[in-house]
Structure 1
Amino acid sequence: MPKISYWKKGKGQALVLLPGFCETKEMWEDFVGPLLTSCEVWCPDLPGFGSSDAYKSDFTISDIGKKIALWMLTNNIGNASLIGHSLGGYLALEMAKLPNLNLRGLGLFHSTAYPDSEEKKVNREKTEEFVNKHGVSKFISSSLPLLFKRENRDRCKEDIDQLIAHAIQLPKDSIVKYLKAMRDRNDNRETFAAFPKPKLMICGVEDTAVTLDDSLTHKKFVDQFCQLSDCGHMGMFEQKEKAQAAICDFMESLKT
């Protein structure tokens, strides 16, 4: 299998945090502090991103989910909770279908169980064209700040700069393959509704990538729903303390 690069910190119940599209494991380093007294936190790079090995051929979201699941099993990360940001949430939903993982809890962080709409599929294809024409650096520099609410961009400038610094190093081939995989991913609304263990959802009121209206349709299926005001798609930076508290509360609830 492709080598998965990761870091882990803390002691306690296992928690795996999955990054999103064009994100790397470093994004979680300053976020996990409050979790480390009661959780063993694992943060991998997705295959083809960061320091993890890339696929040579095309892949599906299901393929990547199975690879991360194998990484978890290989590292004896058992009975873990799985929380994914954006693309990471799509992967978490695929992994929730795998009985051998025996997940303890599942969380969507600015993510959705819906497939891409036809409009979104067209936008993925336009993004692919942009990346191929203009390159990774211009794509990342122009698109990544847009994930933050406009009014939060100055306050989060250091975070944005660090995210860009990591993302511009990602291979164009991997970015294009993930765009295609996200475009063609499964509809996992039934998977999410039927998942029998506790579920968490964190959403941003001002998120333009996963709208609040979309997120609210998931509310009836979750045990804990956290709605972050004054927040776009990057709650771990825009509303750091509230997002930390939501995950800490969720993990604490799993102890009972």
Structure 2
Amino acid sequence: MRKSINNGNITWLDEGQGATIVFIHGFAENSGIWDQQATQLKTSYHVIIPDLPGTAATPLSTPLTIESMAEYVYAILLAENISNAVIIGHSMGGYIALALAEKYPSLIKGLGLFHSTAKADSEEKKEGRRKSIKLMEQYGAETFLRQTLPNMFSPVTKSKLPAAVDAYVKMGMQCELPALIAYYEAMAARPDRTAVLKTIQVPVLFMIGKDDNAVPLDNVLPQITLPRVSSIHIFENVGHMGMWEIPTESNVILEQFIAFCQL
């Protein structure tokens, strides 16, 4: 079931009953990125998947920051009368989850960083985002997305699952240019939140692809010992899209982690 508040400016997918799990999508994505996870988990849990501002039918809100998107998710939880939840974020969604955990720690029952990092962008990464914005402005969003999004998958996945790669590109093209630029600007401006991992009192899940070019293994590895309780999974022949590249294995891990967070 799709729900909305604030005259349609805040929208989300709502499925199932039980303990609440929130999945937050990343750049150039929408709630559909988690369809395979929602189908599996809604039989046992209450699954909430926001469509962030500028995605699907949700209008872009400005100024857009990682912190404003965390407040967007928080508004959904308030509307649903949810006092605690396991929060799972993919890539940019992980940055939002960390911002949510920083401001509302009592809300978090478990934190999942699905191909994500608590570190801020390096200067090199920021420069890369600025160049990408210029490319999008000059050549358009479609050209940029067709060049960039296939690289989110491992070489093995691109060879075995070309239809998934194509579907991901088509999903990205549902985001309009102003939203894509706003996401890149928000990600570049976000602060380092490794301190959140050092102080968090709930379990943290790290999902890492060895072929992830967006959030490389060596970026995340130093963070896995920071939380009090960590669950770490490193995958061969997986890039930045584990929920699509290895959905069955990802779902098993997610179910185990979520069950552990309920103890």
Instruction: Please classify the TM superposition score into its range, dividing by the shorter chain length.
Output: over 0.9
User: Structure 1 stretch 108-117 or stretch 140-149: which is displaced more?
Assistant: 140-149
Greater shift, 94-103 or 197-206, is seen at: 94-103
* 1:228 aligns to 2:228 (yes or no): no
* 1:207 alignment counterpart: 212
Q: Deviations over 1:93-122 (max 9, x none)?
A: 000022376221111000000000010000
Could you tell me which amino acid in structure 2 is paired with residue 94 of structure 1?
A
Matched, 1:24 2:30: yes
CA RMSD after TM alignment = 1.5
Q: Distance in 1 between matches of 2:59 and 2:212?
A: 31
Give the number of equivalent residue pairs: 255
Q: How far off is 1:234 after superposition?
A: 0.5
User: Match for 2:108 among 103, 106, 117?
Assistant: 103
3-state SS of the aligned residue for 1:49? coil
Are the equivalent residues in 2 in contact too, given 1:46–1:52 (CA < 8 A)? yes
Match of 1:8 in 2: 14
Separation in structure 1 between the aligned mates of residue 199 and residue 25 of structure 2, nearest angstrom: 24
1:58 equivalent among 63, 78, 85: 63
Q: What does residue 82 of structure 2 align with?
A: 77
Please list every run of 5 or more consecutive structure 1 residues that lacks an aligned counterpart in the other structure: none
Q: Do residues 183 (structure 1) and 188 (structure 2) align?
A: yes
- 1:34–1:80 distance in 2 versus 1, CA, 3 Å: same
Please give the TM-score of this superposition, normalised by the length of structure 1: 0.94
The letter of the residue matching 1:89 is G
Partner Cα separation in structure 2 for residue 41 and residue 158 of structure 1: 26
Shift of 1:153: 0.7
Percent identical pairs in the alignment equals 31
Q: Which segment drifts farther, 179-188 or 69-78?
A: 69-78
2: distance between equivalents of 1:101 and 1:196? 9
1:24 deviates by 0.6
Secondary structure of 2:214 counterpart: coil
- In 2, are the aligned partners of 1:10 and 1:38 still within 8 Å (CA)? yes
Once residues 118 and 36 of structure 1 are traced to their aligned partners in structure 2, the CA distance between those partners, rounded to angstroms, is: 40
Return closer, same or farther for 1:77/1:53 CA change in 2, 3 Å cut-off. Answer: farther
Moved more, 179-188 or 216-225: 216-225
1:50 offset after TM fit, Å?
Answer: 1.6
Do the aligned partners of 1:12 and 1:37 also contact (CA within 8 Å) in 2? no
Residue 46 of structure 1 pairs with residue 61 of structure 2: no
Query: Displaced runs of 4+ in structure 1, greater than 6 A?
Result: none
CA distance in 1, matches of 2:64, 2:53: 10
CA displacement at 1:41 relative to structure 2: 1.0
- Contact conserved, 1:228 with 1:239, CA < 8 A, in 2? no
CA deviations over 1:61-81 (Å, ceiling 9, x no partner) = 112111221122122233111
- Work out the CA distance in 2 between the residues paired with 1:226 and 1:63: 30
TM-score after normalising by structure 2 = 0.92
The offset of 1:4, in angstroms, is 2.0
Cα gap change, 1:100 to 1:231, in 2 (>3 Å): closer
